[in-house]
Amino acid sequence: MTTTTRYAFDTDTANTAVGEHEYALDLSERWTTMAGTANGGYLLASCLQALRREIPQPDLLSASAHYLRPGVIGPARIRTEVARIGRRTATGTALLTRDDREIIRVLATFTDLAKAEGQTVERGEPPVLPPPDRCVNPLEAMGWSAATIAGQVEFRTAEVPGFFRGEPGGTAAADFWLRFADGRPADPIALALLVDSAAPVVFDLGVSGSSTIELTVHIRRRPAPGWLACRVRTNHLVNGFHEEDFDIWDSTGALVAQSRQLALIP
């Protein structure tokens, strides 16, 4: 008898069609931040799971999400609209509401990454890190609840970053390994969650909170199974707003995702 593994990501982003271009789901507490609100990447991935049901191309290529209000766990609705279906790409929108209030608006384009071909020039390199089993889990000593997103995503760093120890180092940069804690392999939509799953590196500047206003994700390849190598940077904190750039390479060293978000320091 074969047992099918049901991963947390798939369970908690699943939806049910309740009308034409309308889907229902329950936002899970398993993806909340330490502030008690739903993680922005989780909200984005939930919208993309609904939109992909109406688009023939299998892979996310790009998505841009604007966050209107904090996401609260519980029943939610997603309304979708397909803008165009072309030969190589298809584009649509998704709007997630909670208690009839808009939470997030998404514009996304899908493609078939297995058929992508053309000129390739790459100048970036993945971070140089010790193997994951020789790294440390920076969350172990923090006492963060495993019932939140901290329990759903595993991290490994060469050493514990200063801001995790209450000693911000002022670099606002980090390199680390990342994967789902339950072993689920990443795919393009899952990458849209994972680029927003780490503690904001702006914390290394001594700030204690960050709220996403806009998040853009570009998927470059389908990721190979295994740990993902990540590089994240914030270079500009201006009048309380900051960017965060996030790059992900898979276990073969291939770049698979890039993102940039604009966020607000409360």
Question: Does residue 138 form part of some domain?
Answer: yes
Q: State how far the alpha carbon of 240 is from the alpha carbons of 49, 215, 258, in Å.
A: 32, 17, 23
Question: For position 31, which CATH number holds?
Answer: 2.40.160.210
Whole domain around residue 88: which residue ranges? 8-113+132-264
Q: State how far the alpha carbon of 49 is from the alpha carbons of 42, 45, 64, 146, 260, in Å.
A: 11, 6, 14, 24, 21
Average pLDDT in the 66-70 region?
97
Q: Is the pLDDT of residue 3 over 50?
A: no
What tens digit of pLDDT does each residue of 90-108 get?
A: 999 999 999 999 999 999 9
What tens digit of pLDDT does each residue of 159-208 get?
A: 988 888 888 989 999 999 999 999 999 999 999 999 999 999 999 999 98
| pLDDT for the residue 4 | 57
Provide the domain count of the chain: 1
Please give the model's pTM, rounded to 2 decimal places.
Answer: 0.95
Average pLDDT in the 13-24 region?
97
| pLDDT for the residue 87 | 94
Average pLDDT in the 216-232 region?
98
Question: Does residue 189 form part of some domain?
Answer: yes
| Confidence bin at 146 (pLDDT 50/70/90) | low
* Alpha helices (runs of H) in 80-221, residue ranges in sequence order: 188-194
Average pLDDT in the 56-73 region?
97
